[in-house]
């Protein structure tokens, strides 16, 4: 994992991501002061389930697998995230333990923030806090939708026969 910095490079990276492209320049400037660009090789474990969640990152390029351990099954891949998606958002919500293990599937470039520092900035600067939390809510919503789709796939082996349900206003 190679960390790098550079105000202009980081600012440009944030401007190209769907997550932050529409944010006001003033918000991006304040975020850049906390950001670090990290480059990781395929196979790098970015964080492990159960370890302290202390950073949040946006995937600038590459793909990252999120896995969880399940008794009797070992590690199970839950999701693969890519460009513009958030990783490690637990760190922004008060920390605690990481709920999954993140593994770089390809070479990955991340815009990374220390969770405590970003949370403190959001508390101090409500414009930044609004923009960040709005996108965090969007990311959580997408993950929830993905989880629902996985549950549907897991528990419904066949599509339901909708002919057994009564038509609106009709009889069964």
**49-84 tens-digit pLDDT:** 999 999 999 999 999 999 999 888 888 888 899 998
Instruction: Cite the DSSP H helix spans in 17-169.
Output: 25-32, 115-124, 126-155
| CA gap 166, 134 in Å, rounded | 41
Q: Give, in words, the CATH class of 2-154.
A: mainly beta
Question: Could you give the dihedral angle defined by the CA atoms of residues 125, 127, 130 and 135, in that order, rounded to the nearest 10 degrees?
Answer: -110
Q: What is the residue-wise DSSP string for 19-56?
A: TTTTS-HHHHHHHHTTEEEEEE-TT-EEE-TTSB--EE
Q: Give residue 6's pLDDT.
A: 79
Q: Give residue 168's pLDDT.
A: 47
Q: Give residue 3's pLDDT.
A: 52
- Written as six digits, the tokens of 109 are 């470039």
Q: Give residue 171's pLDDT.
A: 45
Q: Give residue 94's pLDDT.
A: 80
Map out the domains of the chain as residue ranges: 2-154
5 falls in which pLDDT band (50, 70, 90)? low
């Amino acid at each position: 994992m190679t960390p790098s910095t550079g105000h202009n490079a980081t600012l440009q990276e944030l401007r190209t991501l769907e997550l932050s492209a529409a944010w006001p320049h003033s918000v991006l400037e304040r975020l850049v002061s906390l950001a670090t660009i990290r480059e990781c090789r395929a196979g790098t474990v970015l964080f492990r389930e159960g370890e302290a969640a202390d950073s949040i990152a946006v995937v600038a390029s590459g793909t990252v697998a999120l896995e969880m351990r399940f008794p009797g099954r070992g590690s199970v891949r839950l999701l693969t995230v890519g460009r513009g998606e958030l990783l490690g958002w637990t760190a922004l919500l008060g920390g605690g333990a990481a709920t999954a293990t993140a593994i770089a599937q390809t070479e990955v470039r991340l815009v990374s923030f220390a969770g405590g520092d970003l949370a403190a900035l959001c508390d101090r600067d409500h414009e930044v806090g609004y923009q960040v939390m709005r996108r965090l809510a969007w990311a959580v919503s997408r993950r929830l939708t993905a989880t629902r789709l996985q549950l549907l796939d897991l528990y419904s082996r066949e599509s339901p026969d909708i002919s057994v349900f009564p038509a609106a206003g009709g009889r069964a």
